[in-house]
Structure formats: structure tokens, C-alpha cells
Amino acid sequence: MSVAAVPGFTCGPDASIVTGLITARAGCPAHPPRRPLLDNSLRQRFLAWRPPAPFFYGWLVLGMASLTTAAGSSVSQVVLGAIQIYIVEDTGWKISTLSLAVTAGTWISGIFSPFAGRMADKYGPRYLVTAGLIVVGIALLALSAVQTASLWQFFVAYIIGRSISNPFLIGVVPRTATVNFFRRRRNITLAISGMARPIGGAVNIRIISLIALSQGWRAAYGYLGLFTLLLVIPAFLIMRRTPEEIGLLPDGARPTTAGAAPGAGRRSGGRIAPDYAPEFSWTAGEAIRTRAYWCIAVMAMLAIVASAGVGYLLVPYLYHDAGLTKAQSAGVGSLGAVLAVTTLGWGFLADKLGPRACIVLTIAGAVLAQLYLMTVVNSVGTAYVFAVLWGVFSNTVGTLEHMLLAQYFGRGSFGSILGSLGPMQTTALGLAPVFGTFLLEFTHSYDTVFIVLMGMYILAGLTVLLARPPQLPPRATATAAEAISGPAAV
């Protein structure tokens, strides 16, 4: 019914409100309805738009996720461990004091990890990554304005940046996006995603080191903050939750034609697209009740403390004990991170041997690399040999762990499962620099610290051997039985 037909109301300038709630203009010929500021259909088209790609769209998502991971690594503890000598020399702060900021930021990120995992499963990475880039970019700009007399400013800015970057830009969210978009190529793409953090960290180390020598470490953080904010719009436009929501299948596969023989696949564009049988996905609750989950969790915690502890103390050790200059020490640290590109080779090897066997091999190699560090390294040449060994073996355990989780538990709740491990793993990651630096101050011996960390690596290798594939939960058996029996007769 129009307002003109309502008794007691007439069309005109005084007919703008009906009972204080309903606008009379809606049915008034003299006053046509106002258009909303932004048409809903226009808004929906904007949100649905994605850049065209001549290849599978998942590669674009993977590339964007890797770029945001590299940006987020600017506040990682590996980067701070490598460039802390510039901060300490400029401000007079202690290394052990800086390690407290690293630990606090890392532990708080663990609190966010389960939330980030559930949100990644439900909503995807688009808004999570965008928000993470904004927060981390602002935090980096805040670090560039820190005053020497105000240590609390550094703590607040670094802790906020670190706590957000770890789950939203480096760990849970981008890895969940990778697992969702790839299945047949999952190990390879997780390896590529895993390379983004150490390679991005190595680039950030070199950038901060070079700028710190000429303009200071604060200016370096400022430039990185601007770069991070520039990624906000591309990330928002590109990132998606799953290939299915944009009409695709994992790996860019095409569904088989109706009635085709099982396993026959379908030829499209000159290649055979594989059949994609449904992949069983565990819930987080089901995964947590398995022995494999807890063996993987313990293994990851031990390996994280060992690897992060060595990485955090490596540059100070080379500078103070091995006789290298600050620039040479930072260069060795960044080379070891760059060689994480070998993670791609571990991805191919995981397809052949399985992620669990590869984890054992990488841990054994990392132990041998530590022995070489303690017994041989005393020059730039030997330090770079160590960097090669460390880069090949030490940076891959986390990525292989994600491959193992996806292999055992599927992709449906991967974010929630990985996020549930976050508090434990970030506790270990935050403990590593504090544990290492305070043990060093107590013993005054780098060798003692490295021996303790080596023992943790060995325990991690033994633990992963117990992480055998779990039996499927009862829900999987019931679902399979229903599929075989078919619908009941009516």
C-alpha cells in the first residue's frame, strides 16, 4: 500500500515520516525511493571479482600468500636475531632484553593461532591476510619511530607485529590456503609456501643490514612497513578460501564425465585430468585424540626450540667466538636462510619417501651441521660451509610437519588442526631465544648451549618415528558403509 492510500496522510514535504519509523517517500510519486550509496549488486560484483589468470588460479593464491609471508617475516625472531647487533650497538639494550620481546610476541601469537585456524577454515584467508598486513605494516612504522630512552615503545610495536604476523601471514592462514587449493601437488606447494618465510627472512636481513649501515635500523623498519601496506589491496583482490567457491577443483582438475570408467580421467587441453575421489577430512577433535597428533606436536616443539635457538644465537656466536665481522656474520645467517630454497627438493622427495621419513633425514642432517659448527667453523669459508648445511637441513622440518598433518588428517579442518598446535609450537618458538640467551649467560659457553639444543633435535627425531598413520575414526567407516549400501528402499 502506498502512503497516499493511507488515511490521514498526503503526499508532500510533510509526508517524510510515518510513525517515526517508516519513510512515506517509498510510496509517494513525488518522492521516489532513494538509491543506496553503494548498490548491493555492485558491491557483490566487486567482492566477487578476481584477476584473470592463464593458469590454475591456485598458483596465484600461492604466490600472493608467499609474498605476504615474506613481508610478515620482517618481524620474525630469525630476522631480529640476525640484526639485533645493530639495535644493541645503537641503543645499549641487552640481547637478553630483546629476547623477552620476541618471546612475548611469539607466545601471544600462539593464543591467536586456534582462532586464526578456525576462521581460515570457515571464511578463508582474504580478510584475515588483509587485516594482518595492515596491523603489521603499522607496527613496522611504529618501530621506525622508537626512541632509545623508551624501550617500552619497541616492546609494544614488536610484540603486536610479531603476534599478528605469525598466525595470519606466516603460519596457519597461508598454509591452510595452500592445502585447500592443492591436493595432488600438495607436498610441492607446501614446500614452496614453506620457502617464503626463510627466503623472505634472508632478504629482510640483508635489507635491514644494508640500510642500518647508512641510515639506521629504524629507517629500515620504516621502508618495510610501507612495503607491507602496499600489499593490502592485491591480497584482498586475490586471496580466496577454496577452489570450489570460484568453480574450480584442487590442482585445476576437471570433473570426470558422467558414466566414465573409474580412474579413466578426462582429457582437457591435451592432458588427462585425474579423478578426484572424495578425501576424508578429520575434525580437529578427532585428530587430537590420536597418538600421531601428539607425537607430531612433541616432535615439532623439540625441533623448534633446537632450530630457533641455534638460529637466534648464530650471528652473535660467529661475531664473538668465530672471529667474523658483523657484516660477515649477518651474511652467513642470511645465506643459510636463502638455502631454504632446497625445501622444494624435500617436497619432491616427500612424494617418494613420505614426509615422516624426510623429517628423520632433515633432523639427522641438522645434528651433523651443529657438530660441524662447534668443531670446525673458525673462518668465513668454513662458516659459509656450515650455512649451506644448515640451510639445507634446518629450515624444512616445519614444512614437512604440515605435509604430514595434511596426509594424515585431510584438508577439511586443516586450519583448525594446525591452529590447535599453535599454542604449543609458539610456546616452544618463544622459549628458544630466552632459553638460549639465559643459558649462555649462565654457562658463558656457546658450545654448552649448542650441545643441549642438539640433544633436543635427537629427541625430536626419535619421537617422529612413533607418529604412525592413525586409523580412521568410526565416522569414516559409517560414511563408507552408507556409500556402499546406497539409499534405503522405500
- Enumerate the β-bridge partners of residue 267: 272
> How much is the pLDDT for 39?
57
Query: What is the spatial distance between Cα 476 and Cα 282, in angstroms, rounded to a whole number?
Result: 9
Q: What pLDDT does residue 82 have?
A: 81
Number of CB atoms found within 10 A of residue 86's CB: 19
Contact 235, 173 (CB under 8 A): no
d(CA 305, CA 48): 42
Any idea where the domains of the chain sit in the sequence?
1-36, 57-253+284-470
In the numeric block, the cell 586475490 is attached to 238
For helices 397-409 and 186-214, give the axis angle rounded to 10 degrees. Answer: 150
Cβ neighbours for 94, distance < 8 A, ≥ 6 positions apart: 88
Round the CA-based radius of gyration of the chain to a whole number and report it.
27
| CA pair distance 272, 256, nearest whole angstrom | 10
Rounded CA gap, 115 and 122, in Å? 11
CATH 1.20.1250.20 holds for 57-253+284-470: yes
pLDDT value, residue 289 = 95
Q: What is the pLDDT of residues 199-208, one digit of tens each?
A: 898 889 889 9
List all residues 6 or more positions away from 385 whose beta carbon is below 8 Å from its beta carbon. Answer: 372, 376, 377
What is the DSSP code (8-state) at residue 31?
A: B
Residues 211 and 286: their CA atoms lie apart, in Å, by 49
Residue 430, Cβ neighbours under 10 Å: how many?
27
pLDDT digits (tens, 9 = 90+) for 332-359: 866 655 666 788 889 999 999 999 999 9
Confidence at residue 263, expressed as pLDDT on a 0 to 100 scale: 42
- The packing angle between helices 77-91 and 151-165, to 10°, is 170
Q: Which amino acid belongs to residue 481?
A: A
Q: What's the confidence (pLDDT) of residue 252?
A: 86
Of the CA atoms within 13 Å of residue 441, those in its CB half-sphere come to: 10
Helix axes 151-165, 126-143, angle to 10 degrees: 160
Comparing CA positions, the residue from 278, 255, 279 lying closest to residue 266 is 255
- 45-93, pLDDT tens digit by residue? 878 888 888 999 999 999 999 999 999 999 997 889 888 889 999 999 9
Predicted local distance difference test score (pLDDT) of residue 247: 87
User: Please, what are the averages of pLDDT over each run of 10 residues along the chain (490 residues)?
Assistant: 44 40 43 53 81 92 96 90 88 87 89 94 94 97 91 94 95 94 92 87 90 94 97 95 89 60 41 58 94 96 91 85 81 67 87 94 95 92 90 86 94 94 86 84 89 95 95 75 38
Amino acid at the residue 242: T
